[in-house]
Structure 1
Amino acid sequence: MLTTGPVPVYPEVLQAMGRPVIYDYHPAFQTYYANVIDKLRLAMRTRLAPVIMQGEAILGIEAAAAALIGKSDIVLNLVSGVYGKGFAAWAARYGKEVVELAVPFDEVIDTEAVRQVLRRRPEITVVSVCHHDTPSGTLNPLAEIGKVVAEHGAYLIVDAVSSFAGLDVHPDAVDADIFITSPSKCLGASPGLSLISVSERAWQKIEANGDAPRGSFLSLLGWKDASEPGRSFPVTPSISEIYGLDAALDRYFSEGAENVWARHAQTAAIMRDGLRQIGVQLWPKREEWCAPTTTAFRVPEGWSDAALRDRLLDDHGILVSLGRGETAGKVLRVGHMGSSAEPSFARAAVKALDEILSNRTST
């Protein structure tokens, strides 16, 4: 299963999720939960304790918009793909105005263009960006964007769902005020949680925002300091998912973060090199824009995306993802995340594609 998420769950994660579910207010679970939060903090390399929301990462992304964006905020939404584009709907729901800086979906955001927009519109208070938009297979220059946004004094919301733990990206290092990721991508766990880092100044803004959700499933504030002794959970935690996240974090630390990143990068490089050798064109215009966690390639002439996807699955047992939105029908996507980030899998995918394209050139 070489899809772009969810990915095949590591065996030790599945085993952990099969443990008995205990009462969430049992002191043993509350201590355990606090330990998981601290492991996540260490993995994210952030000073403040992150929060875990009980739903897949789209919950965290919407919750970030609802909490941080107030009625007077003007949001600069950076768009280089389907998911970046989609954030505008939430930004518009909660803010005063949304300004869009968009590039073609086979390109990445230019940092200087961000700087110029902020100079023209100094009243912009929030900037949002998707680091790695999987339907495009591109990786935006997040650290550079973060510096520009920090210089401007705006708040930065980062969708790092498909990049965190697959490469060297951490919230404090990229000046992110809210940084959302998922256990179901590069950590190799299941898709039931949102993992969110919030900066100190972002918490202050959220607490001052009278429209930020309170007493709601969307409430970031409800989960703030939920791991502290004596604090109550706003809703019942997804206990089995917490077990799985804990095992995934243990595996990440055991392999070593740098080794995990190197494995992802090596797998993607082998995939890209193999595609070049068999004459298949990458979707991003420049290879340096390609993400190490997804390889998106253009559907060869004479084929439909679904037909080629089905041949890979039916003849070779390899499942990949179709494009989405503006990339639908134009690309296929091979995920290199978590347990799928193995060089042998990339070689197998290239070999299968070569056999299919060599034996039949049209559908």
Structure 2
Amino acid sequence: MTIRRNILLTPGPATTSERVKQAQVVPDICPREVEFGLLLDSIRRRLVQVIHGEDTHAAVLFGGSGTAAVEACISSVVPYGGKILVLINGAYGKRILDICRIHLRPEQIAVYETAYDRLPDPAEVEHILFEDTSITHLALVHHETTTGILNPLDEIASICWRNEVKLIVDAMSSFAGIPIDLRQTPCDFMIASSNKCIQGMAGAAFVICRKSLLSPPEDYRPRSLYLDLYGQHAGFESNLQMRFTPPVQVLYALDAALDEFFEETRLGRYWRYCRSWEVLLEGMAELGFAAAVPDLPQSKLLTTFLEPDHPRYRFEAMHDALLAEGYTLYPGKVGELASFRLANIGQIDTHDIRAFLNALERYLAANDIVLPPRFKTLND
């Protein structure tokens, strides 16, 4: 069967390879069989290998979107006498705050929020931790896909380590796309999903946890049945099974995606993404589109572009025309700022990006939308 190849310029799901798609076509199997348990065990071990955490960390798998894993982590690991500091400079930091407000008492939550076009100041973070010694955990979004910026993970990790604060990292959109080494960057919990830079299918998510923190405290009482991180880990350790029905075919696809990742290598994938980003950014500038936050550290995985002020421009029309040609654009998420987002993750390369730019140029010309080119210097 021939499957149409769509180019998803979205922060996830991402374009997948034929190999990953075909990996889902397997004989029906009960997920309680040992064969499937061994597959899960291999996936768990290899996920940890992606970020060099084999000696110190273990992965806990869940069926669900990335947000399910974020909620499982926060609702489980922040104790009833604990307090979490949430760093916010985009929509996904705010989502973490929403989760905290559901599961924690107001006095258990502290917030350090900056504008979408500012990074959290490590010195200010350290000052907050120094002033409030009741803070036990800190949550940070590594790659904030609201704008495409990269938050200062290494600096924040060092601060948490010095202050004996447990670090929770939402690495949903950076895991397997940007090299991370847990041997150098101390992190207690790192959360991601199967459908972004790992280039698998949507439906599985995971928390990579420091092994020494996977035993619940004596007074632990789960805030959720399904999203109990400790219960999920203990269940798998006892019988190689997830406690509830897993997304079987999605996990076979994830296994194939991990094969592809290690074959390409960490740096190979990162440099492919970087080259695609450079072509995308230069091409969009030539067509007259400005990046929303060009002066901040870029992930090189996703870029937010400002919508042009032109009487014949409409995002919905542009989206629909390019969708018909096989290219999916993503709307913006920066408050009232008129913007849209283009990601260059997934099984795509510079050839696909150039083809997209050509399609966009044809659309602009056909609709008589002429924008002045913009000079853009690529960030290192």
TM above 0.5: yes
Displacement of 1:135 in angstroms is 2.0
Q: Give the equivalent residue in structure 2 for 1:8.
A: 15
Q: Give the equivalent residue in structure 2 for 1:309.
A: 319
The equivalences for 1:101-120 within 5 A come to 101-120=112-131
Q: How many residues align?
A: 356
Mapped to 1, the partners of 2:360 and 2:156 lie a distance apart of 36
Mapped to 2, the partners of 1:257 and 1:225 lie a distance apart of 30
Displacement of 1:310 in angstroms is 3.0
| Pair 1:113–1:310, CA change in 2 (3 A) | farther
Displacement of 1:225 in angstroms is 5.0
Q: Give the equivalent residue in structure 2 for 1:331.
A: 339
Kindly provide the CA deviation profile for residues 302-336 of structure 1, in whole angstroms up to 9, marking residues without a partner as x.
Answer: 2343333334334x44211001251x662111111
Q: Give the equivalent residue in structure 1 for 2:299.
A: 291
1:305 aligned partner, one-letter code = F
Unmatched runs of 5 consecutive residues or more in structure 1: none
Q: Give the equivalent residue in structure 1 for 2:291.
A: 282
Mapped to 1, the partners of 2:241 and 2:350 lie a distance apart of 44
1:256 aligned partner, one-letter code = T
Q: Give the equivalent residue in structure 1 for 2:167.
A: 156
Mapped to 1, the partners of 2:29 and 2:363 lie a distance apart of 50
| Pair 1:63–1:107, CA change in 2 (3 A) | same
Displacement of 1:210 in angstroms is 1.6
Displacement of 1:285 in angstroms is 4.2
The equivalences for 1:1-363 within 5 A come to 1-47=8-54, 48-92=57-101, 93-95=103-105, 96-171=107-182, 173-204=184-215, 206-208=216-218, 210-213=220-223, 216-224=225-233, 226-228=235-237, 230=239, 232-286=241-295, 288-302=296-310, 303-314=313-324, 316-324=325-333, 326=335, 330-340=338-348, 342-357=349-364, 359-361=368-370
Displacement of 1:86 in angstroms is 1.5
2:192 aligned partner, one-letter code = T
Unmatched runs of 5 consecutive residues or more in structure 2: 1-7, 372-380
Kindly provide the CA deviation profile for residues 151-208 of structure 1, in whole angstroms up to 9, marking residues without a partner as x.
Answer: 111111111111111111245543221111011001111110012101134324x444
Counterpart secondary structure, 2:174: coil
| Greater mean deviation of Cα atoms: 295-304 or 220-229 | 220-229
1:240 aligned partner, one-letter code = Q
Counterpart secondary structure, 1:295: strand
1:299 aligned partner, one-letter code = E
Displacement of 1:209 in angstroms is 5.1
Contact 2:147 2:334 in 1 (8 A): no
Mapped to 2, the partners of 1:42 and 1:239 lie a distance apart of 22
Counterpart secondary structure, 2:30: coil
Mapped to 1, the partners of 2:284 and 2:241 lie a distance apart of 52
| Pair 1:285–1:111, CA change in 2 (3 A) | farther
Displacement of 1:343 in angstroms is 1.2
Mapped to 2, the partners of 1:115 and 1:69 lie a distance apart of 20
Kindly provide the CA deviation profile for residues 322-356 of structure 1, in whole angstroms up to 9, marking residues without a partner as x.
Answer: 01251x6621111111213x112222333334444
Displacement of 1:278 in angstroms is 3.0
1:308 aligned partner, one-letter code = M
Mapped to 2, the partners of 1:101 and 1:179 lie a distance apart of 20
Mapped to 1, the partners of 2:43 and 2:240 lie a distance apart of 16
Displacement of 1:275 in angstroms is 2.4
| Greater mean deviation of Cα atoms: 162-171 or 249-258 | 162-171
1:140 aligned partner, one-letter code = N
Mapped to 1, the partners of 2:187 and 2:292 lie a distance apart of 28
Mapped to 2, the partners of 1:183 and 1:259 lie a distance apart of 19
Contact 2:307 2:338 in 1 (8 A): yes
**Percent of aligned pairs sharing the same letter:** 25
1:244 aligned partner, one-letter code = A
